[in-house]
Amino acid sequence: MANDSSYKDKKVITIGIVRDLTGLSERQIRYYEERKLIFPERSSGGSRKYSFADVELLVEIANKIEDGVQTHEIRKEMLRAQKKQNQNDVTRKMIQGQLNAQFGLRKGPSS
Amino acid sequence: MANDSSYKDKKVITIGIVRDLTGLSERQIRYYEERKLIFPERSSGGSRKYSFADVELLVEIANKIEDGVQTHEIRKEMLRAQKKQNQNDVTRKMIQGQLNAQFGLRKGPSS
DNA sequence: CGTGTAAGGAATTCTGACACG
DNA sequence: CGTGTAAGGAATTCTGACACG
């Protein structure tokens, strides 16, 4: 396994707690979602659920906005970073595939 | 620093999400608190807030109850484990203190 | 003992909109 | 553009109690 799916990325924090954790207003938090900067999940009843990673991202977003960066710019930055990450993933997988093809490899734990 | 205070122990999960995460009923979750097995924090408005560690503990508690162990027994087990842990901590600190007294030690980062 | 449930109230969250600028 | 706010409604949570066993 790569990284434990662990706690950081589980969406379990409601907006009120995110407010307390970040110091942002609920209005701000919802607005950043509207601008496609953050993507909470929803409970069955419709309440937003955030992860710790989301909480940290929200703080970064708020800092940039304080610095005068517009949400649209922030979004473009994020998309670029995302794209770069995806490309890295693809590259890594491709190289791994080549290695497997050349040398063969165990799939499960060596039994 | 010892261990990052990290995500596992931060009390940020409301009872409804704990219910979804554990499969337990809210009644059960509150009852285990009444029996002193679990200690959520409270939001300013009075809502319970749990950590991931709490969620895992709740599952363990529920398993023991399913096995016929009574809450009072579970509590005693937990207190014993707690006591042992405290003793380990004290011992470790005492030894560390002796080492410091004997050999002296830097307090901050070596500047 | 451990859990379900109905009861009434309070706190939480949601959406769409108006406001300022 | 980013944020505050009042509005009305729905979902969430809380406590104390009765019930079963």
Max Cα–Cα distance, chain B, nearest Å: 57
Between helices B71-103 and B52-66, what is the axis angle to 10°? 130
How far is residue A70 from each of residues A34, A55, A75, A81, measured CA to CA in Å? 13, 19, 9, 17
Q: Which residues lie below 8 Å from residue A47, measured CB to CB, with a gap of 6+?
A: A14, A15
Topology, domain A15-103: Multidrug-efflux Transporter Regulator; Chain: A; Domain 2 (1.10.1660)
What backbone phi and psi angles, to 5 degrees, belong to A41?
Answer: -90, 180
Measured from the CB, is A25 under 7 Å from any atom of strand C? Answer: no
Distance from CA of A7 to the nearest CA of B (A): 6
| Span CA (B105) to C1' (D9), Å | 63
Q: Is the pLDDT of residue A56 over 80?
A: yes
Which residue of B6, B13, B43 is in closest CB contact with A12? Answer: B13
Rounded Cα–Cα distance for residues A20 and A15 (Å): 9
DSSP state, residue A49: E
At A80-101, the pLDDT tens digits run 999 999 999 999 999 999 999 9
Q: Which residue, among A77, A79, A54, has the nearest Cα to A64 in the 3D structure?
A: A77
B61 CA: nearest nucleotide by C1': C2
Measured from the CB, is B43 under 7 Å from any atom of strand C? Answer: yes
Residue scoring higher pLDDT (B111 or A46): A46
Low-confidence ranges of chain B (pLDDT < 70): 1-5, 105-111
Does any CB of chain A come closer than 8 Å to the CB of residue B43? yes
| Span CA (A42) to C1' (C7), Å | 28
Q: How many CB atoms lie within 10 A of CB B50?
A: 26
Contact A38, A58 (CB under 8 A): yes
Q: Which of A4-13, A48-57, B43-52, B63-72 has the lowest mean pLDDT?
A: A4-13
Interface with B, mutate which of A5, A11, A13 (most B CBs under 10 A): A13
Domains of chain A, residue spans: 15-103
Residue scoring higher pLDDT (B88 or A109): B88
Topology, domain B15-102: Multidrug-efflux Transporter Regulator; Chain: A; Domain 2 (1.10.1660)
Chain B residues with beta carbon closer than 8 angstroms to that of A20: 43
Q: What is the pLDDT of residue A106?
A: 56
Measured from the CB, is B50 under 7 Å from any atom of strand C? Answer: no
